[in-house]
Amino acid sequence: MTTMNSPALMPYDDVIAQFDPVMGLEVHVELNTKTKMFCGCATEFGAAPNTQVCPVCLGLPGALPALNRKGVEGAIRIGLALNCEIAQWCRFARKNYFYPDMPKNFQTSQYDEPIAFNGWLDVPVETDEGVQVFRVEIERAHMEEDTGKTSHLGGATGRIQGADYSVVDYNRAGIPLIEIVTKPIVGAGKNAPAVARAYVSMLRDLLRALDVSDVRMDQGSLRCDANVSLRASADSPFGTRTETKNVNSLRSIEKAIRYEMQRQAAVLAGGGQVTQETRHWHEDTNLTTSGRSKEEAEDYRYFPEPDLVPIAPSREWVEQLRATLPEPPAARRARLQEQWGVNDTEMDSIINAGAVDLVVATIAAGADHTAARKWWLGELARTANDQGVDLADLAITPADIVDVERLIAAGTINDKLAREVIAGILAGEGTAEQVVARRGLQIVGDDSALLAAIEQAIAEQPDVAEKIRGGKVAAAGAVVGAVMKATRGQADAAKVRALLLAHLGVEDA
Ligand code: ADP
Ligand code: MG
Ligand code: ZN
């Protein structure tokens, strides 16, 4: 049962004074393979329900799976990028349970023989004491398949309670999924929520660089469950953990962990015990509520999958895949800093804004690096911040920025109009060209339209016009300003000035 009354929270500073947090992060990443893990069905996001299914992923009797080599390749590359060992030999396992979104009645997963294990990721974390590198140890990365998606319809909340009926879409069933599980993360102290966020953020960048996934938290191709527990001090045994699901943005990871720390601390300080359970994060109310209790922990009756042969990746193959890994983050940073000619502080702000990949992609799409940085770190960073979303999740692409820059270069729009074009793109009004056309944003370049506006401005400021005629060219600014205002900024100021002076018969100074 879900209870919505908010429990007591201990102030965060008190939590840190009295307890030591331990975390464990489980990240599920959907691979961007063209076909599913065990059949040839397409994996495209957003297709009409149940159009990307076949007997294998629908679990029809007698259907046999066939392993997707690209899925295994993605898993190995992820394992290598996380500094893991790659299994010499491993198997899939059946995780048996019933749920309507899982038509086979078992999930093909890996159990005690993961493809990758024992790795680590060094994560730069912003703290009050500056950026500190924190090593997150990786327990394992294993292969499994995604489930279908159930929607509860007819009710007010979209939850099963109160719904009239439920429908299931199996398009997602069987899409390759890699689950990446950390070892218990200790020693983060007050920075625990920031460490968790920085880890997922860096993992997402790494996965994007590997080009193995769309890593869209909003679309569910990257999902994170956060385990948290508190103990009295760094040498006490671990406390009881809760596992918070449904954390769908980087911000939420940080907030959900902080919230759980404060909630558990209040329970413990009040003499209570933390219940080992699954909790759900609510993006709207910023709190977690109790879900399934782990005391009735399911017995999944794991056993080796009999319909798939074991995987024994040859060391040659593993080394070939290692050679395809992207440049390590520190080396990349140094290289980009040199190419862009920015100092340490500027580079930090680009990294902290989550803009590095976007700037790189914008340059690759044809913009120069100053323009690329200007838009992502200025206008767009502000918008992302206002909306409380990540830069990468804004509804604008590097190619859009290049389009905007081309329109500026062609003289179709100026810098000020470009901001409006970007606002239009973000609002879903189409490409840069479409926004310009729909909102009528092109610079007024037509001389007769400009001249009419100039004559109007002169008529309103006859004394200024007299001064200009008398040789005070510096006074032209006031008339130019009036024309710019009349054309709502859609004129080229230099052109207006030239036309004005010519009209008044004055030579430019
Ligand atoms: P489950 O199947 O219950 O989700 P997993 O082993 O898949 O368990 O994941 C548990 C996660 O929680 C791992 O990242 C693990 O390191 C972490 N963890 C284990 N014990 C604790 C604890 N007491 N407090 C916080 N995290 C923990
Ligand atoms: Mg788990
Ligand atoms: Zn299929």
Q: Which of 241, 242, 296, 302 to mutate to test the pocket of ligand 1 (most atoms within 8 A of CB)?
A: 241
Q: Which residue's C-alpha comes closest to atom 20 of ligand 1?
A: 184
Q: Which residue's C-alpha comes closest to atom 12 of ligand 1?
A: 24
Which of 419, 439, 459 is the last residue before a domain boundary? 439
Question: What stretches of 79-199 adopt beta strand conformation (E)?
Answer: 85-86, 93-96, 106-109, 116-127, 130-145, 149-153, 165-169, 176-182
What the block records as the tokens of 159 is 């939850």
Q: Which residue has the tokens 């500073």?
A: 13
Residue 127 and residue 102 share a domain: yes
- Say how many Å lie between the CA of residue 58 and the centre of ligand 3: 7
- Closest atom of ligand 1 to CA, residue 181: 14
User: What is the mean predicted confidence (pLDDT) over 398-422?
Assistant: 91
pLDDT by residue (tens digit) across 135-178?
999 999 999 999 999 999 998 888 888 899 999 999 999 999 99
Short-list 75, 73, 69, 68, CA closest to 114: 75
Residues with CB under 6 A from ligand 1: 22-26, 139, 181-184, 227-229, 238, 241, 243
Q: How crowded is the C-beta side of 326, counted as CA atoms within 13 Å?
A: 15
Q: What percent of the chain has pLDDT over 70?
A: 97
What the block records as the tokens of 183 is 């070892």
Q: Which of 25, 26, 242 to mutate to test the pocket of ligand 1 (most atoms within 8 A of CB)?
A: 26
**What value, to the nearest 5°, has the Cα angle with vertex 11 and ends 7 and 12?**
110
- Closest atom of ligand 1 to CA, residue 240: 23
Residue 382 and residue 282 share a domain: no
Ligand nearest to the CA of 240: 1
Residue 476 and residue 372 share a domain: no
Residue 400 and residue 486 share a domain: no
- Say how many Å lie between the CA of residue 295 and the centre of ligand 1: 15
Q: Which of 182, 227, 261 to mutate to test the pocket of ligand 1 (most atoms within 8 A of CB)?
A: 227
- Say how many Å lie between the CA of residue 276 and the centre of ligand 1: 11
Quickly state the pLDDT bin for 293 (edges 50, 70, 90): low
Residue 423 and residue 460 share a domain: no
Q: What is the C-alpha separation between 42 and 302, in angstroms, rounded?
A: 28
Q: What average pLDDT is seen over the chain?
A: 91
- Say how many Å lie between the CA of residue 38 and the centre of ligand 1: 28
**The pLDDT of residue 275 is above 90:** yes
Q: Does residue 260 lie in a domain region?
A: yes
Q: Does residue 318 lie in a domain region?
A: no
- Say how many Å lie between the CA of residue 219 and the centre of ligand 2: 20
Q: Does residue 314 lie in a domain region?
A: no
- Closest atom of ligand 1 to CA, residue 228: 25
Q: What is the C-alpha separation between 13 and 265, in angstroms, rounded?
A: 11
Q: Does residue 382 lie in a domain region?
A: yes
Angle between helices 250-269 and 192-210 (to 10 degrees): 150
What the block records as the tokens of 271 is 């003499």
Ramachandran region of residue 29, left (φ > 0), alpha (ψ -120 to 50) or beta?
beta
**Domain interval for residue 422:** 331-439
Ligand nearest to the CA of 28: 2
Q: What is the C-alpha separation between 197 and 175, in angstroms, rounded?
A: 26
Residue 337 and residue 357 share a domain: yes
- Say how many Å lie between the CA of residue 108 and the centre of ligand 2: 14
Question: Could you tell me which residues come within 8 angstroms of residue 462 by beta carbon, excluding any fewer than 6 positions away?
Answer: none
Answer whether 175's CB lies under 8 Å from 143's CB: no
Residue 119 and residue 91 share a domain: yes
Q: Does residue 246 lie in a domain region?
A: yes
Quickly state the pLDDT bin for 59 (edges 50, 70, 90): very high
Q: Does residue 38 lie in a domain region?
A: yes
Using alpha carbons, list the distances in angstroms from residue 303 to 64, 299, 307. 17, 12, 12
Q: What is the C-alpha separation between 35 and 68, in angstroms, rounded?
A: 8
Protein residues placing their CB within 5 Å of the ion ligand 3: 39, 41, 54, 56-57
pLDDT by residue (tens digit) across 95-111?
999 999 999 999 999 99
Handedness of CA 260, 265, 270, 272 (dihedral sign): positive
Q: Report H helices in 167-232.
A: 192-210
- Say how many Å lie between the CA of residue 111 and the centre of ligand 2: 11
**The pLDDT of residue 296 is above 60:** no
Angle between helices 356-364 and 192-210 (to 10 degrees): 20
Q: Does residue 323 lie in a domain region?
A: no
pLDDT by residue (tens digit) across 346-392?
888 898 788 998 999 999 999 999 999 999 999 899 999 898 888 98
Coil/strand/helix, residue 1 = coil
